[in-house]
Structure 1
Amino acid sequence: MSVNESLARNSYAAAGQSHIVLAENISEAQFALLEKVCPAGLFQRNAAGVAMINYRGCLECGCCRVIAGSSTLKQWRYPASGCGIALRFG
């Protein structure tokens, strides 16, 4: 089974608001690092080049928090109870 097939087995209950908040003025290099380290690919740029977070697909692994630190992320917390990822094994 491929990684994508395994991830597709998971279910996700989206919260009403993001549990990840970027700091006010992060640099291009900091955002590029987030794009690179996130295994779910949450950090992307839209067609206009604006930095965006698709928090609804978060694996809650904490890579962004550990690698980028508090200077890049203003807030990182687990989603509200009943929201977030439900991992399915097998």
Structure 2
Amino acid sequence: MSVNESLMQNSYHPARSSHIELQDNVDAQQAALLEKICPAGLFQRDADGRLVFHHQGCLECGCCRLIVGDAALSAWRYPPSGSGIVLRFG
């Protein structure tokens, strides 16, 4: 089973608002790291070149927090109860 097939087994219940918030002035190096390390590919550039985070589909793995921490993230918390990812195996 491929990684994408495995991820499709999961169930997502996105919260109304994002549980991860970006700093206002994320520098280009930090933005490139976030785009590269997110296993779900949720950090992307918008049409104006600004970094945005799409919280729907977040794996809640914490890679972004471990790699860039407070340098690029103003908040990282788990989604509220009943929201987020439900992992399904096999």
Q: 1:56 maps to which residue?
A: 56
Taking the aligned partners of 2:21 and 2:2, their CA distance within structure 1 comes to 31
What is the DSSP-based 3-state SS (H/G/I as helix, E as strand, rest coil) of the residue aligned with 1:26?
coil
Taking the aligned partners of 2:19 and 2:37, their CA distance within structure 1 comes to 18
Q: 2:13 maps to which residue?
A: 13
Q: 1:78 maps to which residue?
A: 78
Verify: 1:29 aligned to 2:29, yes or no: yes
**1:46 Cα offset (Å):** 2.3
Taking the aligned partners of 1:5 and 1:51, their CA distance within structure 2 comes to 27
Q: 1:43 maps to which residue?
A: 43
**1:50 Cα offset (Å):** 2.5
Percent identity (aligned):
62
Q: Identify unmatched segments of 5+ residues in structure 2.
A: none
Amino acid at match of 1:69: G
Taking the aligned partners of 2:45 and 2:70, their CA distance within structure 1 comes to 21
List 4+ stretches of structure 1 deviating above 3 A: none
Amino acid at match of 2:33: L
What is the DSSP-based 3-state SS (H/G/I as helix, E as strand, rest coil) of the residue aligned with 1:52?
strand
- TM-score w.r.t. length of structure 1: 0.95
Taking the aligned partners of 1:57 and 1:11, their CA distance within structure 2 comes to 9
What is the DSSP-based 3-state SS (H/G/I as helix, E as strand, rest coil) of the residue aligned with 2:56?
helix
**1:54 Cα offset (Å):** 0.7
Q: Identify unmatched segments of 5+ residues in structure 1.
A: none
Tell me the C-alpha RMSD between the 2 structures. Answer: 0.8
